[in-house]
Structure 1
């Protein structure tokens, strides 16, 4: 993992700040489109493009472009593959917005549509912040304490099953909740 020391803690705080800007607490689904609007970032659906490449970008076999940041003077535009499932689009939007919020330098490369092009630490940071935006640690911990399954987390936070599983396990929320239950059980004996 290439994430710098302390970044995950910073991402928790930053995600909560961004959610607060939108009037959202940590226990409700995050709307990346609202954050894009708040920051004045244009979002262009790939289906709206009128060019020969449109058909290539809109493939549904998983090899197509999910989203991309496109420089536009001093701003950016986010391309959004609206042929994909909504939960996938929300994850991609959150990832691309994380690059913007974290002020990552980037260059556009559409040669390999499966990679954002930034690589290494910047990709991992954007993934982690996107995860914190979609399922904040506090929400993951509350859901873990309640014994929520990945399916319940996905439904409550409006994310894919894969994102729910990643956040519940990768954030450490389930381990923390299990340890607390274990300590509580041992004191009751």
Structure 2
């Protein structure tokens, strides 16, 4: 990941949220965002043919989502058999690739955090999608309130794994704990 990207992603995620009328303390709606940008979202269940049944698996072993070029634009193909929190994570990941203008042929997500682009593009999409789902400001607010990972997941409508990842990797809990220890010694 390029130097300074995490700071850039914090700012960018808040701007993206503002575009659909959200602050840092509300669940992100990737479908509203896709609609705002004119990005069609196609559910696998609406497709026909033998490949559909192979890809339409709730366990995500075949496909979670895909960013598909269509003319000069893109569409997102999503596995709508998966739980809503997983679908939202996949959507944010694919939207991050679009927002960051990553070049690609087809980006296939085989699970929540892996797709076909690899390298820095993948790391950047992961980090930005995390900031979209639980912004650092939101993570700090939850850390100050002593929220558990489960409470963070419920508040931001994400999976427990995503909540744990964001609460730990945002640094929110460590910073809040250090500040509390410092105040306690004064």
Q: TM-score, normalised by structure 2?
A: 0.96
Distance in 2 separating the partners of 1:122 and 1:157: 25
Distance in 1 separating the partners of 2:96 and 2:161: 19
Residue 99 of structure 1 is matched in structure 2 by: 97
**Cα RMSD (Å):** 1.2
Distance in 1 separating the partners of 2:154 and 2:30: 17
Deviations 1:77-130 (A, max 9, x none): 1001100000000000000000000000012266x8454210011011001000
CA contact (8 A) 1:107 1:117 kept: no
Please point out which of 3, 6, 19 is paired with 1:5.
3
CA contact (8 A) 1:47 1:54 kept: yes
Query: Which consecutive unaligned segments of at least 5 residues does structure 1 have?
Result: none
**SS of the counterpart of 1:69?**
strand
Residue 141 of structure 1 is matched in structure 2 by: 140
Residue 158 of structure 2 is matched in structure 1 by: 159
Residue 117 of structure 2 is matched in structure 1 by: 118
Query: Which consecutive unaligned segments of at least 5 residues does structure 2 have?
Result: none
- After TM superposition, give the deviation of residue 51 of structure 1 in Å: 1.6
Residue 37 of structure 2 is matched in structure 1 by: 39
Q: TM-score, normalised by structure 1?
A: 0.94
Matched, 1:18 2:35: no
